[in-house]
């Protein structure tokens, strides 16, 4: 069965520190998609990244980077030189939507609350 | 502007009084879904819809109904709300399946007393 685990409930760091948010997933499919979303204190959900299971290249976007490792079923998210504006809840999610088995759900982790102290 | 619009943003109601939370998207997306967010549990899917007149249960459908009569609208109906349905609700849409980026509404904070 699909499952996404974000073991870190809350992380608190001082501004400018690097921080990594862990995401471990379970799936039986060979084709699947992984996502990260950000939920700032204002409450909206913001898309950060989408990665398919055939692309294990790490991705960097400014201070954000993602490390996808199929061998460990992990899709970790690192913020370099964190800033107070990075404070938010971050969610990892998994989709293995397939017309063949009629599975059209997006499964979410419980989220990691990241607090960046000035 | 591409967006998903949910209404109302906040709602306080009493147990048993039927209510509807509306959701509308202007991106011609086929896939729409409803989630509830509770502390420590992340987002849990209530119902989803692959297209007009096609809906299916998510992980926590009990006590909820949905309909998809038009592509743009996907209302969430609570026929007889109970206090355990107090939660933050999000509507989302994606182009075709949940394999693509989801666009979310602003959320509806529902309190059932």
Q: In whole angstroms, what is the distance from residue B12 CA to residue A97 CA? A: 35
- Output the pLDDT for position A26: 94
pLDDT at B76: 98
- Whole-number pLDDT of residue A99: 61
- Which residues does A contribute to its contact with B (CB < 8 Å)? 6, 9, 33, 35, 37, 43-45, 47, 50, 52, 91, 93, 95, 97, 104-106, 108-111
Q: Which two tokens stand for residue A91?
A: 């969610």
Comparing CA positions, the residue from B106, B93, B97 lying closest to residue B27 is B93
B→A contacts (Cβ < 8 Å), by residue, are: 31, 33, 35, 40-45, 48, 50, 56, 58-59, 88, 90, 92, 97-104, 106-107
Structure tokens at A20: 């990594």
User: What's the average model confidence in pLDDT over B32-56?
Assistant: 93
Closest CB to B99: pick one of A43, A97, A109: A97
Residues B4, B96: Cα–Cα separation, whole Å: 15
Q: What is the pLDDT of residues A56-83, one digit of tens each?
A: 888 888 999 999 999 999 999 999 999 9
**What whole-number distance in Å separates Cα of residue A112 and Cα of residue A92?**
9
Within 8 A of A50 by CB-CB distance, chain B residues are 100-101
Work out the pLDDT band at A102, boundaries 50, 70, 90: low
Higher local confidence (pLDDT), A55 or A117: A117
SS (H, E, C) B17-79: CCEEEEEEECCCCCEEEEEEEECCCEEEEEEEEEECCEEEECCCCCCCEECCCCCCECCEEEC
Span A92-101, pLDDT tens digits: 999 987 666 6
Distance from the A82 Cα atom to the nearest Cα atom in chain B, whole angstroms: 23
- Read off the pLDDT of residues A12-59 as tens digits, 9 standing for 90 and up: 999 999 999 999 999 988 889 999 999 999 999 999 999 999 888 888
Measuring CA to CA, which residue among B58, B64, B61 is closest to residue B80? B64
Q: How far is A22 from chain B, CA to nearest CA, in Å? A: 15
Q: Is A47–B45 a contact, with Cβ atoms under 8 angstroms apart? A: no
Nearest Cα residue to A45 out of A32, A59, A35, A33: A35
Confidence category of residue A85, pLDDT binned at 50, 70, 90: very high
Least confident of A103-107, B73-77, B92-96: A103-107
pLDDT 10s digits, B5-35 = 999 999 999 999 999 999 999 999 999 999 9
Q: Is the pLDDT of residue B104 over 90?
A: yes
Q: How far is CA A71 from CA A26, A53, A68, A75, in A?
A: 12, 11, 9, 11
* Residues of B with Cβ-Cβ distance to A9 under 8 angstroms: 40
Contact A104 B50 (CB under 8 A): yes
Q: How far apart are CA B72 and CA A107, in angstroms?
A: 23
User: Which residue matches tokens 């109601």?
Assistant: B13
Residue B40 has pLDDT above 80, yes or no: yes
| Nearest CB neighbour to A44, from listed B31, B42, B106 | B106
């Amino acid at each position: 069965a699909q499952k996404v685990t974000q073991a870190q409930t809350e992380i608190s760091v001082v501004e400018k520190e690097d921080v990594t948010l862990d995401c471990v997933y379970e799936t039986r499919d060979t084709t699947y998609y992984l996502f990260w979303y950000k939920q700032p204190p204002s409450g909206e959900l913001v898309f950060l990244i989408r990665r398919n299971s055939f692309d294990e290249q790490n991705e960097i976007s400014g201070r954000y980077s993602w490390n996808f490792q199929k061998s460990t079923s992990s899709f970790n998210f690192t913020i370099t030189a964190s800033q107070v504006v990075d404070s938010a809840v971050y969610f990892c999610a998994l989709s293995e939507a397939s017309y063949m088995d009629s599975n059209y759900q997006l499964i979410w982790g419980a989220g990691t609350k990241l607090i960046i102290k000035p | 502007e591409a967006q998903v619009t949910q209404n109302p943003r906040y709602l306080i109601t009493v147990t048993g009084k039927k209510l509807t939370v509306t959701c509308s998207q202007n991106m011609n997306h086929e896939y729409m879904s409803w989630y509830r967010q509770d502390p420590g549990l992340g987002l849990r899917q209530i119902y989803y819809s692959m297209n007009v007149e096609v809906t299916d249960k998510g992980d926590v459908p009990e006590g909820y109904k949905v309909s998809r009569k038009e592509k743009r609208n996907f209302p969430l109906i609570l026929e007889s709300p109970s206090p355990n349905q107090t939660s933050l609700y999000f509507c989302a849409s994606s182009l075709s399946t949940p394999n693509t980026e989801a666009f979310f509404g602003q959320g509806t904070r529902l309190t059932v007393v």
